[in-house]
């Protein structure tokens, strides 16, 4: 995997390693400068071993998620790449007819061997080209006369022996050279497995219905010389060129030419650019084109790996967010535990910086341990995920997944884990260092000094100028969202934003004090050191700005006015850069209401984001901005004296309601906004935060209500009493833990609900379309009369109630008018014709089918009217459901036809269908759009799982006479075993494959379940965080409340009552978190589906709640939470009473 989110992995890894090295250097610096505080921090680690273990488990999650995501990406990249190398072998480039630029009938799309020989001569001295091998290819049915097993679509190739000599020629699985003459055939391992063939077996190849007998002379590896084309079309064989040319009647032509570069399968790749360029020059003016096929497929492998990594990283964001909350919570609790120690250290002269250093030392101990554990755990998770994908994906994956970890990815995951944890620890340590010394020593609650200007406009003004000054960087950055005008506004703020953090760092130092109070203590030196030693970042982003801040502080420290000039006071709010000047001129050590200041800054950034979102049609930025504004509103209301409960409950409730508003209701105001998978994460974070605010600020109503349920059981009343009281008083801990559990539950519930409903949209019984068996016929051996063919093969056709036949024109045989002018080329331009598959169905199909339509054109009251019209009138068409989707699917091609969304009762419209071979145009009128389940119906029977337009067989024959694809559909009498009958049909018709639609559907469902399991399992890892948080809280509570436990036991609490109280306390938090995630996830999914925000047609489904899955998820979450609390609860119940009473 070379890229993630479009950024080179080498760059990501380099930056991560550099930052990690810097972190370790900083820690080394602390250890050297301040060994006492460093040791004080480190010695805390082994103090409570169980707690340390819990902390490491909690902290490891970020690394685990990253290494699992990267490991999966690496595995997919390497597995797909090795498949590519294995199939293509030494073939690097592929020359074939350029049908797009030079339409011609299929049989004319060939390259004369004389032309190829001419190329060989002209390229004879090329230092990069090793071999040029012209091939003839056909897809033919192969039947083993010994085993009576067949393969309807084997890829048979032929090449001249001399041409392939430079590649070592055709070799069998033992490496021996294979000679092909006359009616001998070498079949590859995949085909041999399918038809159970051995050397010496006689096999029949069918060409235009005529069997030709060949003898198997060798079994070869599956590669391009033995017919393998791609991971989904591996079965093939090789015959002598002359024999094949004679069989097909083509003579001295090739269908394609493979070019092999100098070097082995891997080594030739690096010459591909040069060779492709020379071949393009060679082919200029000819109807042929060259594709650097190996390079393209390896790039696809890279893309697949990167895309999967990106998906897993995005899904892992929930767990990472929960993990960050946990890290913060853990360190806040550690700080609380050490409060008296911190107080004492501060009292005897330790500076705040030294407290931070001590915490950092301890934190880095945990961080390092957890990153190592997380890395290996993540690798273990990768192995498990790959096993599950392989198990559920089965053959349909088309490749063998081999677990692979690249050192670069693993180093990156390790460093990212270290960095994320370090940053959170840094913030938490800073918070811990701010404690009041007296309060800390006496372990009293923190109190803040009274601000005489609190809750006044004057105080708010102070908050505003400081907020704007201190957070100019994010405000300025957010302005850049709306193009050049935003850049003009944002640039000065960014400059200020680079200086102002240093100014605020220096503001309380001696260097900023007025002359009378200065003691001569030097300004902090560490920013200089950082600036000098950090290459690029230090010189550009630290040194000049720290110097500027120092200069400013020195200039203004003795020149501060008694009061700000009026013009500046007013101007600072109008012209924001002036806010920095106002902040600079503030009286020394003026108290700043930082919460309000931060909220104001983020409120401004929120407005910019909202505007930027509207400007760029981005739902993400718009809703992020709006949500930020609501946060500002809540803090501001509180600042002006509105009760915290009211402020946060009201704003959270309104914001939640806003998230539920369907996008079409907002569209008249906002215009159409586009959102992608990132909305999933944003909605989760914002909605769960709102939910948690509402619950936590109203917990005194919610928890007693929950508790009242339990109060019916008299014996647990005492335990309930304390179980409810503690979470109510520790809002911060309760809220954080609820948020962690809520976030993960939200993601799991949403995922499971979305999946269930999409499955019911695509993979329901409607997808059988009224038929039971689907078959695909080899294009070189069409069946004219299916019934007769079956009867002739001795199949009892009495179970067949109805038969439908569809002729199929594949996308390369069809050009269809790009009616709505979508970009339909790989180079981003709009060409007049797109490609699409077309199904031409016969009368039997039209009579027997039971397919559903999504939209009908005006004038057609029912689905039956549409089907009847199709049967009776020529040149009518139906379009597939996915043709109007903005998503072309994973790795979908631009070339495919797209249409603007339709609606029920749309005006019938025409589409021109052009035969690229003849240039003939047939115009069809679209009168309906198939439902998603109908798309699935056509896809299930197609070898390429493709959907397409539906017209009648007659129209297809007229529009695309050369189209040779054929499918058949059988409706069986009730009670017939469709799987057995399909096998019977397949055995009888050598040129056709047949499958039970029931089986195909259940295979698809099974695959989907497998992938869902992988994603849910991956996202569920985050639950470890929530559960670990509960365990950490409970363990900490046992220590904190030791004396109280002693007292409870003294006044008569039985041991089990104490344990029960702890369990119920965790239970309440877990239940509240689970409910928040469950209610929000389910309700949002419901809104998105019922309003059609999940895509056209989703509003038509019967919204299904996967109660069983949800119950299992909730059960696991709750059960695990309880399990993790059992140990602390048990230890609480065993606290020796007398000893506990003495504990302080």
Partner 1 sequence: MNEFDDVVIDARDVVKTYDTGTVQVQALRGVSLQVRRGEMVAIMGPSGCGKTTLLNCFSGLDEFDSGTVLIAGQDIAHMPDDRKTEFRARDMGFVFQTYNLLPVLSAVENVELPLIVSGTRPKVARELALEALDRVGLRAWANQRPAQLSGGQRQRVTIARALVNHPSIVWADEPTGALDSKTANEIMDLIVELNAAERQTCVIVTHDPKVAARCHRTIHMADGVIVREDSRETMQTAAAASGAE
Nearer to partner 1 among residue 407 and residue 445 (C-beta):
445
Question: Taking the complex as a whole, how short is the minimal distance between the CB of residue 1123 and partner 1, in angstroms?
Answer: 25
The CA distances from residue 1065 to 204, 704, 718, 727, 1069, in Å, are 74, 12, 12, 7, 7
Beta carbon nearer to partner 1, 676 or 1139: 1139
**711 part of the interface to partner 1, by CB under 8 A:** yes
Residue choice 339, 638, 856, 1049 for contact with partner 1 (CB under 8 A):
1049
Sole binder of partner 1 in the list 726, 771, 833, 960 (CB under 8 A): 726
- Per CB under 8 A, the segment of 162-170, 253-261, 726-734, 854-862 that binds partner 1 is 726-734
Q: What angle do CA 664, 665, 667 make, to 5 degrees?
A: 60
User: Sign (positive/negative) of CA torsion 1042, 1046, 1049, 1051?
Assistant: negative
Exposed/middle/buried for 821, CB within 10 Å: 0-12, 13-18, 19+? exposed
DSSP characters for 85-143?
Answer: HHHHTTEEEEEEE-TTTS---GGG--EEHHHHHHHHHHTTT-TTEEEEEEEEEEEEEEE
Burial (CB count <10 Å: 0-12, 13-18, 19+), residue 1029:
buried
Residue 1057 contacts partner 1 per CB under 8 A: yes
Q: Which of 115, 797, 1044, 1091 binds partner 1 (CB under 8 A)?
A: 1044
What are the tokens at 445? 């609650």
Q: Which stretch binds partner 1 (CB under 8 A): 470-478, 777-785, 998-1006, 1136-1144?
A: 1136-1144
Task: Tell me how far apart the alpha carbons of residues 742 and 612 are, in angstroms, rounded to a whole number.
Answer: 30
348 binds partner 1 per the rule CB under 8 A: no
Shortest distance (Å) from residue 444 CB to partner 1: 9
Nearer to partner 1, 734 or 1004 (CB): 734
What are the φ and ψ backbone dihedral angles of 184, each rounded to 5 degrees? -105, 150
Q: Which of 1046, 1067, 1073, 1081 binds partner 1 (CB under 8 A)?
A: 1046
Nearer Cβ to partner 1 (134/727): 727
> Based on CB atoms, which residue is closest to partner 1, 435 or 803?
435
For partner 1, the closer of residues 396 and 729 by Cβ is 729
Nearer to partner 1, 144 or 1133 (CB): 1133
Binding mask 589-618 for partner 1 (x = CB under 8 A): ------------------------------
CB 1054, min distance to partner 1, A: 5
Of 1054, 1090, 1091, 1100, which one interacts with partner 1 (CB under 8 A)? 1054
How far is residue 111 from each of residues 114, 165, 254, 283, 288, measured CA to CA in Å?
8, 20, 5, 12, 8
Rule CB under 8 A: choose which of 538, 606, 612, 718 binds partner 1: 718
* CA pair distance 1092, 667, nearest whole angstrom: 13
Cβ closest to partner 1, residue 33 vs residue 715: 715
Shortest distance, position 468 Cβ to partner 1, whole Å: 38
Number of residues that bind partner 1 (CB under 8 A): 32
Only one residue has tokens 């096999």, namely 203
Q: Is the Cβ of residue 372 or residue 1137 nearer to partner 1 in the bound state?
A: 1137
State which residue, 729 or 886, has the beta carbon closest to partner 1.
Answer: 729
Nearest distance in Å: CB 1043, partner 1: 6
Reduced to 3 states, what is the DSSP secondary structure of residue 613?
helix
Round to whole Å and give the CA distance between 1083 and 656: 11
Per CB under 8 A, the segment of 69-77, 104-112, 714-722, 984-992 that binds partner 1 is: 714-722
The answer to whether 717 contacts partner 1 (rule: CB under 8 A) is yes
Q: How far is the CB of 1061 from partner 1 (least distance, A)?
A: 11
Q: Is 977 helix (H, G, I), strand (E, B) or coil?
A: coil
Neighbours of 536 (CB within 10 A): 8
CA dihedral 110, 114, 120, 122 (to 10 degrees): -110
Tell me if 1137 contacts partner 1 by CB under 8 A. Answer: yes
Position among 395, 828, 1052, 1107 found at the interface with partner 1 (CB under 8 A):
1052
**Shortest distance in whole angstroms from residue 700 CB to partner 1:** 12
- Quote the radius of gyration of the chain (alpha carbons, Å): 35
From candidates 547, 556, 569, 728, binder to partner 1 by CB under 8 A:
728
Cα(238)–Cα(220) distance, integer angstroms: 9
Torsion of CA 25, 30, 31, 32, to 10 degrees: 90
Among 436, 455, 976, 1043, binds partner 1 (CB under 8 A): 1043
Give least dist CB 726 to partner 1, A: 5
Based on the shown chain and the rule CB under 8 A, indicate whether residue 729 belongs to the binding site for partner 1: yes
Taking CA atoms, 617 is separated from 101, 623, 958, in Å, by 36, 11, 44
Contact between 450 and partner 1 by CB under 8 A: the answer reads no
Give the nearest distance from C-beta 431 to partner 1 in angstroms.
Answer: 22
Among 714, 794, 828, 891, binds partner 1 (CB under 8 A): 714
- Nearest CA among 576, 575, 607 for reference residue 470: 576
Question: Which part of the chain contacts partner 1 (CB under 8 A), choosing from 122-130, 574-582, 707-715, 812-820?
Answer: 707-715
Q: How far apart are alpha carbons 189 and 81 in whole angstroms?
A: 20
- DSSP string of 988-1049? H-TTEEEEEHHHHHHHHHHHHHHHHHHHHHHHHHHHHHHHHHHHHHHHHHHHHTHHHHHHHH
Q: Which residues fall within 8 angstroms of residue 702, CB to CB, at 6 or more apart? A: 695, 1072
**Helices within 534-576 (DSSP H only):** 537, 543-556, 566-574
Does 1051 contact partner 1 by CB under 8 A?
A: yes
Nearer to partner 1 among residue 458 and residue 1142 (C-beta): 1142
Contact between 1144 and partner 1 per CB under 8 A? yes
Q: How many angstroms separate the CA atoms of 848 and 805, rounded?
A: 11
Q: Which is nearer to partner 1, 239 or 707 (CB)?
A: 707
The 3 state secondary structure assigned to 259-295 is EEECCCCCHHHHHHHHHHHHHHHHHCCCCEEEECHHH
Kindly state whether residue 721 participates in binding partner 1, applying the rule CB under 8 A.
Answer: yes
Q: Should residue 725 be labelled a site residue for partner 1 when binding is judged by CB under 8 A?
A: yes
Q: Which of 166, 311, 573, 1141 binds partner 1 (CB under 8 A)?
A: 1141
Which CB sits closer to partner 1, 193 or 1056? 1056
Per CB under 8 A, the segment of 447-455, 651-659, 1031-1039, 1049-1057 that binds partner 1 is: 1049-1057
Stretch that binds partner 1, among 517-525, 710-718, 758-766, 1018-1026 (CB under 8 A): 710-718
Q: How far is the CB of 1053 from partner 1 (least distance, A)?
A: 6
Confirm or reject binding of residue 439 to partner 1 (CB under 8 A): no
Kindly state the smallest distance separating residue 335's Cβ from partner 1, in Å: 19
Kindly report the number of other CB atoms within 10 A of residue 121's CB atom. 9
DSSP state, 784?
S
By CB under 8 A, residue 1053 contacts partner 1: yes
Structure tokens, 507:
């503001």
Residue 560: CB minimum distance to partner 1, A: 40
Q: Can residue 282 be called a binding residue for partner 1 (CB under 8 A)?
A: no
Strand segments (E) across 827-902? 833-834, 837-841, 853-856, 876-879
Distance from C-alpha of 1088 to C-alpha of 1082, rounded to nearest angstrom = 10
Site of interaction with partner 1 (CB under 8 A): 445, 711, 714-715, 717-718, 721-722, 725-726, 728-729, 1043-1044, 1046-1055, 1057, 1136-1139, 1141-1142, 1144
């Amino acid at each position: 995997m070379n890229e993630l989110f479009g950024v080179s992995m080498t760059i990501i890894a380099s930056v991560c390693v550099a930052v990690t090295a810097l972190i370790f250097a900083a820690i080394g610096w602390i250890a050297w400068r301040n060994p006492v505080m460093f040791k004080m921090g480190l010695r805390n680690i082994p103090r409570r071993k169980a707690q340390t273990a819990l902390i490491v488990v909690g902290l490891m999650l970020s690394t685990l998620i990253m290494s699992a995501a990267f490991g999966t990406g690496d595995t997919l990249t390497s597995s797909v790449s090795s498949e590519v190398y294995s199939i293509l072998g030494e073939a690097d480039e592929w020359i074939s007819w350029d049908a797009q630029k030079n339409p011609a009938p299929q049989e004319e799309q060939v390259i004369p061997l004389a032309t190829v020989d001419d190329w060989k001569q002209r390229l004879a001295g090329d230092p990069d080209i090793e071999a040029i091998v012209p091939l003839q290819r056909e897809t033919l049915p192969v039947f083993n006369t010994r085993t009576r097993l067949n393969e309807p679509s084997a890829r048979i190739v032929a090449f001249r022996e001399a041409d392939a000599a430079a590649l070592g020629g055709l070799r069998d699985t033992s490496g021996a050279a294979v000679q092909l003459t006359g009616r001998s055939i070498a079949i590859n391992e995949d085909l041999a497995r399918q038809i159970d063939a051995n050397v010496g077996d006689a096999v029949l190849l069918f060409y235009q219905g005529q069997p030709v007998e060949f003898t198997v002379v060798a079994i070869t590896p599956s590669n391009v010389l033995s017919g393998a084309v791609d991971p989904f079309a591996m079965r093939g064989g090789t015959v002598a060129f002359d024999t094949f040319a004679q069989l097909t009647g083509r003579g001295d032509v090739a269908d394609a030419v493979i070019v092999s570069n100098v070097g082995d399968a891997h080594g030739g790749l690096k010459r591909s650019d040069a060779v492709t360029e020379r071949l393009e020059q060679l082919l200029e003016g000819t109807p042929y084109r060259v594709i650097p096929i190996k390079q393209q497929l390896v790039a696809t492998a890279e893309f697949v790996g990167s895309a999967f990594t990106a998906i897993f990283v995005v899904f892992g964001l929930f767990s990472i967010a929960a993990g960050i909350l946990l890290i913060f919570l853990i360190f806040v609790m550690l700080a609380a535990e050490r409060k008296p120690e911190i107080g004492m250290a501060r009292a005897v002269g330790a500076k705040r910086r030294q407290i931070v250093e001590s915490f950092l030392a301890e934190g880095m101990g945990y961080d390092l341990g957890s990153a190592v554990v997380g890395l290996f755990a993540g690798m273990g998770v990768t192995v498990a995920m790959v096993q599950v994908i392989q198990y559920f994906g089965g053959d349909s994956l088309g490749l063998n997944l081999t677990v692979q970890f690249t050192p670069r990815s693993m180093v990156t995951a390790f460093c990212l884990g270290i960095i994320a944890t370090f940053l959170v620890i840094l913030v938490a340590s800073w918070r811990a260092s701010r404690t009041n010394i007296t309060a800390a020593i006496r372990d009293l609650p923190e109190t803040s000094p009274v601000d005489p200007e609190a809750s006044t406009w004057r105080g708010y003004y102070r908050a505003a100028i400081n907020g704007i000054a201190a957070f100019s960087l994010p405000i300025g950055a957010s302005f850049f969202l709306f193009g050049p005008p935003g850049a003009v506004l944002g640039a000065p703020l960014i400059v200020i934003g680079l200086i102002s953090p240093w100014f605020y760092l220096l503001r309380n130092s001696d260097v900023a004090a007025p002359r009378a109070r200065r003691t001569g203590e030097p300004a902090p030196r560490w920013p200089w050191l950082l600036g000098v030693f950090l290459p690029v970042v230090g010189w550009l982003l630290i040194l000049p700005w720290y110097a500027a801040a120092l200069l400013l502080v020195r200039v203004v420290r003795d020149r501060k006015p008694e009061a700000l000039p009026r013009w500046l006071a007013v101007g600072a709010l109008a012209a924001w850069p002036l806010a920095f000047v106002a902040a600079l001129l503030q009286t020394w050590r003026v108290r700043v209401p930082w919460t309000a200041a931060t909220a104001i800054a983020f409120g401004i950034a929120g407005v910019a984001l909202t505007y930027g979102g509207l400007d760029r049609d981005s739902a993400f930025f718009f809703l992020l901005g709006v949500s930020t504004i609501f946060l500002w509103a809540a803090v501001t209301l509180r600042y002006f004296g509105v009760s915290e409960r009211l402020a946060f409950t009201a704003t959270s409730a309104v914001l939640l309601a806003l998230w539920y508003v369907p996008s079409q209701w907002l569209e008249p105001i906002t215009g159409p906004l586009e959102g992608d998978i990132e909305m999933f994460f944003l909605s989760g974070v914002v909605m769960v935060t709102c939910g948690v605010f509402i619950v936590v600020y109203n917990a005194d109503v919610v928890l007693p209500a929950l508790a009242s349920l339990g109060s019916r059981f008299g014996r647990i009343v005492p335990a309930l009493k304390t179980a409810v009281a503690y979470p109510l008083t520790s809002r911060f801990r309760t809220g954080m833990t609820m948020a962690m559990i809520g976030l993960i539950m939200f993601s799991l519930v949403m995922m499971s609900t979305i999946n269930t409903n999409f499955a019911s949209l695509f993979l329901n019984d409607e997808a059988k379309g009224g038929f039971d068996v689907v078959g695909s016929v080899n294009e070189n051996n069409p069946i004219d009369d299916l019934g007769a063919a079956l009867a002739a093969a001795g199949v009892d056709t009495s179970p067949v109630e109805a038969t439908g036949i569809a002729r199929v024109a594949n996308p390369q045989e069809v050009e269809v008018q790009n009616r709505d002018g979508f970009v339909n080329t790989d180079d981003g331009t709009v060409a007049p014709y797109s490609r699409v598959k077309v199904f031409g169905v016969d009368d039997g199909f039209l009579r027997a089918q039971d397919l559903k339509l999504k939209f009908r054109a005006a004038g057609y009251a029912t689905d039956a009217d549409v089907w009847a019209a199709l049967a009776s009138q020529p040149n009518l068409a139906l379009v597939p459901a996915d043709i109007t989707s903005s998503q072309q699917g994973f790795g979908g091609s631009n070339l495919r036809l797209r249409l603007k969304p339709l609606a029920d009762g749309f005006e019938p419209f025409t589409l021109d269908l052009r035969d690229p071979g003849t240039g003939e145009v047939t115009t069809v009128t679209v009168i309906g759009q198939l439902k998603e389940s109908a798309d699935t119906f056509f896809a299930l029977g197609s070898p390429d799982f493709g959907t397409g337009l539906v017209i009648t067989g007659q129209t297809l024959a007229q529009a695309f006479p050369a189209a040779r694809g054929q499918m058949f559909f059988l409706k069986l009498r009730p009670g017939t075993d469709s799987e057995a009958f399909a096998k019977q049909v397949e055995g009888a018709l050598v040129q056709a494959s047949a499958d039970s639609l029931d089986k195909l559907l259940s295979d698809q469902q099974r695959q989907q379940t497998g992938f869902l399991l992988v994603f849910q399992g991956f996202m569920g890892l985050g639950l470890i965080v929530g559960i670990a948080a509960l365990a950490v809280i409970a363990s900490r509570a046992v220590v904190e409340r030791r004396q109280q436990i002693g007292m409870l036991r003294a006044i008569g609490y039985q041991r089990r009552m104490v344990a029960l109280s702890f369990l119920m306390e965790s239970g309440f938090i877990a239940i509240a978190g689970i409910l928040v995630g469950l209610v929000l996830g389910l309700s949002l999914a419901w809104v998105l589906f019922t309003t059609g925000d999940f895509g056209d047609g989703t509003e038509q489904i019967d919204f299904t709640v996967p109660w069983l899955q949800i119950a299992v998820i909730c059960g696991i979450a709750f059960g695990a939470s309880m399990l993790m609390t059992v140990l602390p609860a048990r230890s609480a119940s065993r606290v020796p009473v007398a000893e506990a009473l003495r504990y302080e």
